[in-house]
Structure 1
Amino acid sequence: MNSQMYDLGCKIKQLSGELAEYLDTPGTGSKYNVLYHHLDDSHYMQKYLFYLLGEYLSTHNPSIKNDLLSFANLLGQRSVGIAGSLDTCIGLVYKTRSAIITLMETEIKENKLTGEYFIESIKLLDPLLNAVLSSVINHYNDILFATKYALDESTEDLRMTLKELAELKKALNEATIFAVMDENDAYIYVNEKFCEVSKFSKDELIGKTPYILNSGYHPKGYFDDVWNDLSAGKVWNGEILNKAKDGTTYWTDTTIIPFIDKAGRKYKHISIQYDITEKKRTEETLLKAEKLSMVGELAAGFAHEIRNPLTTIKGFVQLLTETTKETVFTKTILDEIDRINSIVSDFMIFARPHVTDFTQCNLTEILKNIAKFIEPEALLRNVLLITDFPDEPVIISGEKNQLKQVFLNIMKNAIEAIPSGGFVYISMNIQPSEVSVTIKDTGVGMTEEQLRKLGEPFFTTKSTGNGLGLMVTYKIIQDHKGRIDVKSDGPHTGATFKLTFPRIQ
């Protein structure tokens, strides 16, 4: 078992405080019985959940899953009992997951947890939490189904059911992106959070199917499988990339629960979603960082082994041109040697250790100088640069030459992406703690596949490129504690690069 995952599990157990020490002591009896006597204490329930999740992550003991199911059953009873309500139970699971994510982010920042084991831990913990949540909701649905047949006998039962349904609606509205669909998969109810995330109004969504949010990312067979599971009465859980009304995309962790009539036919289903866009971005950033790290480990040795023989070859070729008449072949050899040296120089930025002296840099001045420097090339290509920079200095911490290289790479790419004339817009947005530079072109645009591969080694959309320019750019931005976001609506729609850096007040 990996030590990182074991240490993380132990730290999650520590969130349960003195309970972990008590339950780990031999002779304390059944953990299930201990829990049963504290159903009214929500803090104790959360501590117990921390303990079980931490124990499973550190030991991978299959019996812990059974303990979690027992916990879920008790939690389901609590959701309809006098001692608590469903929104409290859902909130307990949600707060527990949030606390664990916060702990894991702290571990990553302190370099105690790698991106690989962050993702592996999420893959282990999320199914367990989803199982707990599904069990609670299923238990609740069972109670409601049984209550349905008792409504004619007691008005008191009716009042209790209406109260519980109100609590359920409140919990789902506040904690989730919630929707109800009919037998034809058309929306008959969406909550405010659904509208907030999707940018559609309720009137625009009611009567429409989820196809209105289709981003085109998933193949058609993906949703066919969803529909088949629901038609068979199965609960479906997975991740979906949706497209909002304004064209932006967002990821959701989605659970869809079908409602089945006496004849076994689905007559409606509910969708419970959580916005996991930031989580997916974090995973993508960590994966790219790991790729850059791998290149860094190879760079130093690669550069040394290549440059030594290149220096010797270049020296002999230059000596040859001095003793004999220079030919097109010797000039070609020297040009190609210089090109290889340029590629090696690009690789050297990833070499470790790499010490850079950061100073206070005037971002406004850097951008103005780069725009002025590259403007002649833009005009030759019939491209007009339109800039919007503030008059006052905007100061960030960085290495001036590296920052110039970043903006020069992106502006040059933007110009080259416009084959028959167009515009490149360069603007700056200043916030109290950070500053963003947006470079937008009216060029050929990019596909979803190309967007996903940006920054990967040797990936390029240009016939003459080597795929290292943007890779170097991503590395420099990472070293400056910045971030880069790239958007394009597809081919022939242009592309927008947004670079954000921490600002010095």
Structure 2
Amino acid sequence: MKKELSDYKHALDESAIVAITDQKGIIIHANDNFCKISKFNREELIGKDHRIINSGFHSKDFIKNIWTTIAKGKIWKGELKNKAKDGTTYWVDTTIVPFLNDKGKPYQYIAIRSDITDRKKAEENLIRYSSALEIMNKQLVDFCNIVSHNLRAPLTNIAMLVDFIEQSKNEEERKEIQVKIKPVINHLLEVFNELVESIQVQQDAGIKIDEIIVEEILEKNLNLFVTQIKKYEVTVKTELVGVSKIYFPQKYIDSVLTNLISNALKYRSPDRKLVLEIKAKQEEDNFLLTVSDNGLGIDLEMHNHHIFKIRKTFHKHKDAKGFGLYLIKTQVEAMGGRIWVESKVDVGTTFFIEFKNLKI
């Protein structure tokens, strides 16, 4: 019987990640597989509870439910995301079995786990690609509407001008009409180039993910506008909360920052000095960026449904094209993030950008 139990234990230790704790959850046994995956040696684990490998991924209610279940003498089964000694995370399929005394009360717990990290990574990739496909399908519909709306007018205009040229017999009149064609063609080319750029973003599924130092990327993009910032005596405030680096395509982060900083400068109020605030903070696996100003503001009651549509502008300005917000929305959503805005006329505007931190 003893040999049979020894054989069972050997088989279990060879095939699974095993830990035994006392009634209070203090680890009293950790097998080699547990040490290997957690990167702690046995001496570091014994005498500690499982908070030593807590990744912070699961909610307090989730953890409480585990303890409530096993404290009643019931078996708990589920998936857990843990953190190794070096800070890396791993997933385990877990079964926790209470050992019961004569009164039916737990006096020990054995946790039997198997490494499912690769499977979880594959699932996360599948979810990401599925979300990306859903976004791309929506963008395809949007793109068709954009093409229909934005190319039809200039093409109709060109067709009418060509008809006028064909019908006109006056050379001076023909030359005058020809002069009018050029700006219409230039406008058409501009719209076409914008649409091509948006398509490239939507199809760029294999874009490189960069490790970005947040403080450096903010400083770099603010430096692009240093002349205007000095000229208009802009007060710039930056604040980083619990974030030092993120993993995201750098060209998209640059695009978001340059467009929003440029808009804040472009649409500043003539009645007060511009105050530009950029904040970044970590929220679980997401990174939230906010860009606020005390500028002209946007009438959201009038424009709420058009904020991120192509070639929509909300203030008169010689450089306003109505493409920047559409582009950054496309870039952010292509990577599984989202963007939204809060604004009041003559008070200011805040853009919120939630990035998915793409390091797995």
1:202 partnered with 2:42: yes
Gapped runs of 5+ residues in structure 1? Answer: 1-159, 352-362, 368-374, 383-408, 420-442, 453-457, 475-494, 499-505
Q: For 1:212-270, what per-residue CA distance to the aligned partner results, in whole angstroms no more than 9, with x for missing partners?
A: 11111111111111111111110110111111111111111100000110122211010
Aligned to 1:258: 98
Q: For 1:29-85, what per-residue CA distance to the aligned partner results, in whole angstroms no more than 9, with x for missing partners?
A: xxxxxxxxxxxxxxxxxxxxxxxxxxxxxxxxxxxxxxxxxxxxxxxxxxxxxxxxx
Contact kept? 1:182, 1:268, Cα under 8 Å = yes
**Residues 339 and 246 (structure 1), Cα distance of their counterparts in 2 relative to 1, 3 Å cut:** farther
Aligned to 1:411: 250
| 3-state SS in 2 of match to 1:263 | coil
The amino acid that maps onto 2:203 is I
Match of 1:381 among 220, 223, 229: 223
Contact kept? 2:101, 2:107, Cα under 8 Å = yes
The amino acid that maps onto 1:216 is G
1:345 partnered with 2:207: no
The amino acid that maps onto 2:105 is R
The amino acid that maps onto 2:131 is K
Aligned to 2:283: 447
User: What does 1:330-479 align with in structure 2 at a 5 Å threshold?
Assistant: 341=195, 344-346=198-200, 349=203, 378=220, 381=223, 410-413=249-252, 446-450=282-286, 466-469=328-331
Aligned to 1:177: 17
In the alignment, the residues of structure 1 paired with residue 286 and residue 125 of structure 2 have an alpha-carbon distance, to the nearest angstrom, of 16
Contact kept? 1:346, 1:472, Cα under 8 Å = no
TM superposition shift of 1:312: 2.6
1:272 partnered with 2:112: yes
| 3-state SS in 2 of match to 1:207 | coil
Question: Percent identity among equivalent residues?
Answer: 31
Contact kept? 2:221, 2:257, Cα under 8 Å = no
Report which of the two has the higher share of strand. Answer: 2
In the alignment, the residues of structure 1 paired with residue 253 and residue 145 of structure 2 have an alpha-carbon distance, to the nearest angstrom, of 34
1:187 partnered with 2:23: no
Report which of the two has the higher share of helix. Answer: 1
**Residues 294 and 444 (structure 1), Cα distance of their counterparts in 2 relative to 1, 3 Å cut:** closer
TM superposition shift of 1:418: 9.6
In the alignment, the residues of structure 2 paired with residue 347 and residue 317 of structure 1 have an alpha-carbon distance, to the nearest angstrom, of 29
In the alignment, the residues of structure 2 paired with residue 246 and residue 470 of structure 1 have an alpha-carbon distance, to the nearest angstrom, of 31
TM superposition shift of 1:306: 2.3
Contact kept? 1:299, 1:347, Cα under 8 Å = no
Normalising by structure 1, what TM-score?
0.38
The amino acid that maps onto 1:181 is T
TM superposition shift of 1:290: 2.5
TM superposition shift of 1:298: 5.1
| 3-state SS in 2 of match to 1:246 | coil
Larger relative contact order (CA 8 Å, sep ≥ 6): 2
Match of 1:248 among 67, 73, 88: 88
TM superposition shift of 1:166: 1.5
Q: For 1:325-358, what per-residue CA distance to the aligned partner results, in whole angstroms no more than 9, with x for missing partners?
A: x9xxx9xx9999579636752476389xxxxxxx
| 3-state SS in 1 of match to 2:24 | coil
Gapped runs of 5+ residues in structure 2? Answer: 162-176, 211-216, 225-247, 259-278, 289-307, 309-323, 337-356
Contact kept? 1:178, 1:272, Cα under 8 Å = yes
In the alignment, the residues of structure 1 paired with residue 60 and residue 69 of structure 2 have an alpha-carbon distance, to the nearest angstrom, of 15
Which deviates further from its counterpart, 173-182 or 463-472? 463-472
| 3-state SS in 2 of match to 1:468 | helix
**Residues 348 and 413 (structure 1), Cα distance of their counterparts in 2 relative to 1, 3 Å cut:** closer
Match of 1:285 among 125, 141, 146: 125
Count residues with an aligned counterpart: 230
User: What does 1:16-165 align with in structure 2 at a 5 Å threshold?
Assistant: 160=1, 162-165=2-5
Aligned to 2:165: none
The amino acid that maps onto 1:448 is E
| 3-state SS in 1 of match to 2:286 | helix
In the alignment, the residues of structure 1 paired with residue 144 and residue 65 of structure 2 have an alpha-carbon distance, to the nearest angstrom, of 53
| 3-state SS in 1 of match to 2:113 | strand
TM superposition shift of 1:380: 7.0
Contact kept? 2:73, 2:98, Cα under 8 Å = yes
Contact kept? 1:317, 1:334, Cα under 8 Å = no
In the alignment, the residues of structure 2 paired with residue 348 and residue 251 of structure 1 have an alpha-carbon distance, to the nearest angstrom, of 31
Normalising by structure 2, what TM-score?
0.52
| 3-state SS in 1 of match to 2:124 | helix
Aligned to 1:304: 144
